[in-house]
Amino acid sequence: MTSGREAQNAHLSVWGVCKNFGDFTALDDVSFNAAKGEMLCLLGPSGCGKTTALRIVAGLEFQDAGRVFINGDDVSMRPVSKRNIGIVFQSYALFPNLTAAQNVAYGLVSSGRGRARSRERANELLALVGLPGIGGKYPAQLSGGQQQRVALARAMALSPEILLLDEPLSALDAQVRIHLRSEIKKLQRELGVTTIMVTHDQEEGLTMADRILLMRDGKVIQDAPPDKLYDQPATPFAASFLGSMNFLPALDVGDPKRVGFGRVSLAVLKSAWKKGDPGTCQLAIRPEDVVIRAPGAQDVTYAGNVLEARVASLEFRGPLYRLTLRLVDGPDDCPPLIADVSARLAGRLDLSDGAAVQAIFPVELLHVYAGGL
């Protein structure tokens, strides 16, 4: 739990927020902080409470317990109009009967600026999001990507403390989405606005966020920068939600530096041990971390953790091949091991169904999730 002092230093701070809808717990003791200018991403499967968390930060929904601070002020009970935040919704919610410029100026006019100055500022904002000269068009006359940016300009019009984006790119097609990812990120950096983005697209989270809050069933599972989240997933769920991960049944032999694995034992780092599901002990390694060598080859880089394997199938994926391997010495209930090798290496090894290979688990890339911890 975050301490009071720390919370008041962060730009945005959420403390122990709980939210129930009837009997259903949508958020269970959610806490996080965001520093000024940071981009935080709420990531998680559908229905895990991301939108609810965002709406509570916005003041569109009120928490049953817990508090929200912006700039050290307790805004827990303030409605959205008193929180100085900008929101971009998944649907963009652009007013259909107002032009792009009128949409952007909507908040400016009611904030008491003159009409002319509002219009000027609206055009500035539209230029800022890369849409100069479209001010006179109606939303229906704009492409999805343009609409998205108009919504962004409208949200930024009052220079909000916090920008909230709910699945901002999910309504766009793949090409535009990838382009807009970097655009939004660039803009966010330039403006230095503290941003919270909700997404269930892991790639979007990994590429855009400074920090990711991984959620599941209304709880925060892990709060870490994207690379750390990918390299050091705190739970099996975190490991499998981002990228792919092999989970192999292992045996806790009481030695923090070794685990039993079928007929062999493998070396692991002491720091590789993390808490897993109760009553289990699992080795975990990402497919791209498995090293594949020709049978009998001696590799000085990888001293230990060499396993005999046979290729059960291989699948061409462009730059790489995805191999499904049977581990010869693995335990009886061992699922097939998935390993990615570059297309070049696969060609050199002359891989085909049934071929024998060595699968090496580099010790620093192995994770252990044990229920007993």
Partner 1 sequence: MPEIVLEEREGLLSRLSGALSELMAERWMKGAFIGLIGVYLTVLVALPLYGLLSKSLYDKTGAFIGLANFTRFFSEAALFSSLSHSFFVSMTATAFALPLGFAFAYCLTRTSVPGKKVFRAMAMAPLLAPTLMHGLVLIYLFGKKGLVTKGFFGAAQALFGVSGFDIGLYGATGIIIAEALYAFPPVFLILSVALSMTDARLYEAAEALGASKFRIFRTITLPGVKFGLVSAFFVSFISSFTDFGAPKVVGGSYNVLATDIYKHVIGQQNFSMGAAVSVILLIPTALAFLANHIIQRRQSAGVAAKAVPYSPGINPARDRLAFLFCAFISLLFLVYLGVGLYASLVDVWPYKLQLGFRHYDFNATGGGGYAAYFNSLRMAFYSAVAGCVMAFGAAYVLEKFKEFPRLRQFCSQLSLLPMALPGLVIGLAYIFFFNAPGFSIEAIGLYIPNPLNGLYGTMALLVLSNLIYFHTVSFLTAGTALKQLDNEFESVSESLSAPFTRLLTRVTAPVCLPAILEIGYYFFVRSMTTLSAVIFLYSADLPIAAVAVANMDDAGDTAPAIAMCMLIVVTNLVARLLYGFATSGLQKRTRAWTRR
Is the four-CA dihedral 260, 261, 262, 264 of positive or negative sign?
negative
Other CB atoms within 10 Å distance of the CB of residue 254: 7
> Between β-strands 291-293 and 356-360, what pairing exists: parallel, antiparallel or unpaired?
antiparallel
Going through 44-145 in order, the beta strands assigned E by DSSP cover: 65-70, 73-74, 85-88
Which residue has 């044990």 as its token pair? 370
Closest CA to 137 of 98, 92, 107, 186: 98
- Residues in Cβ contact with 82 at an 8 Å cutoff, skipping those fewer than 6 apart: 59, 75
Quick note: the x/- pattern for Mg ion over 40-59, rule CB under 5 A, is -----------x--------
> Between β-strands 211-216 and 39-43, what pairing exists: parallel, antiparallel or unpaired?
parallel
Residue 328 interacts, among Mg ion, partner 1, ligand ATP, none and using kind-specific CB cut-offs from 5 to 8 Å, with none
The structure tokens listed for 260 are 């039993």
Is the four-CA dihedral 259, 261, 267, 272 of positive or negative sign?
negative
Segment 42-81, which members bind ligand ATP (CB under 6 A)? 44, 46-52
Segment 199-238, which members bind ligand ATP (CB under 6 A)? 200
For ligand ATP, the closer of residues 23 and 333 by Cβ is: 23
The yes or no reply on residue 154 touching partner 1 (CB under 8 A) is yes
Shortest approach of partner 1 to residue 152 CB, angstroms? 12
For partner 1, the closer of residues 139 and 287 by Cβ is: 139
The structure tokens listed for 149 are 């940016």
The structure tokens listed for 373 are 């911890």
Quick note: the x/- pattern for Mg ion over 333-352, rule CB under 5 A, is --------------------
Residues 4, 6, 21, 189: which binds ligand ATP (CB under 6 A)? 21
Shortest approach of ligand ATP to residue 200 CB, angstroms? 5
Span interacting with ligand ATP, options 21-29, 283-291, 327-335, 353-361, rule CB under 6 A = 21-29
Residue 300 interacts, among partner 1, ligand ATP, Mg ion, none and using kind-specific CB cut-offs from 5 to 8 Å, with none
Q: Are 318 and 307 in contact (CB under 8 A)?
A: no
Tell me whether residue 359 is exposed, middle or buried, using C-beta atoms within 10 angstroms of its C-beta: 0 to 12, 13 to 18, 19 or more: buried
Would you report the helix, strand and coil content of the chain in percent, each value rounded to 5? Answer: 30, 30, 40
Q: How many chain residues are in contact with partner 1, going by CB under 8 A?
A: 36
- Residues in Cβ contact with 8 at an 8 Å cutoff, skipping those fewer than 6 apart: 69, 72
Quick note: the x/- pattern for ligand ATP over 334-353, rule CB under 6 A, is --------------------
Shortest approach of ligand ATP to residue 181 CB, angstroms? 18
Residues 157, 206, 208, 268: which binds partner 1 (CB under 8 A)? 157
Quick note: the x/- pattern for partner 1 over 34-63, rule CB under 8 A, is ------------------------x-x---
Segment 170-189, which members bind partner 1 (CB under 8 A)? none
The yes or no reply on residue 113 touching partner 1 (CB under 8 A) is no
Shortest approach of ligand ATP to residue 143 CB, angstroms? 24
Residues 17, 57, 70, 85: which binds partner 1 (CB under 8 A)? 85
Q: Residues interacting with Mg ion, by CB under 5 A?
A: 51
Q: Residues interacting with ligand ATP, by CB under 6 A?
A: 21, 24, 26, 44, 46-52, 200
